[in-house]
Amino acid sequence: MVRARPTLCALLALAAGAAGCGTASTRPAGGAGSAPAGPRPPLQTANGPLAPAAATSPLTLQLGGVPDAVQIRFGRPPRSGLLFDLDTGRVLWRKDPTRVLPIASLTKMMTALVVVARVPDGAKVKVTKEALAYQGSGVGVLPKGKSVGLSAMLHGLLLPSGNDAAIALAQRADGTLPRFVADMNARTTAMGLSCTHYSSPSGFTDRGNHSCAADLAVEARAVLDQPRLARIVRRRQAVLPFPIKGGKLYLYNNNPLLRMRYPGTLGIKTGFTDAAGRCLVAAVRRGDHRLGVVLLHSPDPGGQAVKLLDRGFRALG
């Protein structure tokens, strides 16, 4: 893990890329820069251009100069966190928002962004032997050698946080995992993320896989700006046609705000490893406001998110 604290520029580019850690099954472990407004040219990678964003929505994340509107003390605070307005970039609460930490399955937000930039809607994704050799959380019932619809595989990635789905999607998008990871890091650079680096599409391995709350806030907005992804991450559960016995796949989202039916929850992503602890990126709409919250290595991400969001919406009136 990188130990140096990065410098975060005031302007963080929110790229609407042409793109919770639930567990359907678990296997034992084995092992900012400024961005110009207006359209960008396609991002060039070793594997060719990534699909450009449908629109570029720059966000000024207001990290300095103004006291936070929400003042709260947690008995056991997260190691890092951020409460912010998803539309204006106003920061309402923070705790070390540029501290670099492992992020576990929050990685899959970037995986999803790169996949939808590279793989056309309606495409099929082959279930490879590498995908079936996954570790950690997974869909768990992927049929070897068969092809599965992209939408179903994205659901498997983002609801039960399937590491098997992450591998299969990465191979479908770029052929090999190293090439896909290179594209993840290329998009990270293009989005102006200053403390993020990826080493896998799943986040299961913490070595070399890290980010910070400020960067993850930008990624969260990029996910919500993608209609295909926004529709998936807000679902508490899904029943999908699938080439298995019975013909249906049942998936459940472990996002604590969705599970408790917290009003206005738009979803996003959870994550957990021993090194990363319990992590949450969530978004909620109430009236004309959308707030986002990022909590890294939190003892109670659901409870802490609710307290922050309740106070945040009260502060906004």
Active-site residues: which are they?
105, 108, 161
Residue 278 near residue 298, CB atoms below 8 Å = yes
Give, in order, the Cα–Cα distances in Å from 285 to each of 11, 108, 156, 273, 288.
23, 22, 24, 29, 7
Angle between helices 177-190 and 163-174 (to 10 degrees): 90
Residue 129 annotated as binding site: no
Say if residue 69 is exposed, middle or buried (CB neighbours under 10 Å; 0-12, 13-18, 19+): middle
CA 250 – CA 54 distance, rounded (Å)? 31
Residue 28: Cβ within 10 Å count:
6
Q: Using CA atoms, how far apart are residues 57 and 264, in angstroms rounded to an integer?
A: 23
Residues tagged in the binding site annotation for substrate: 269
Residues tagged in the binding site annotation: 269
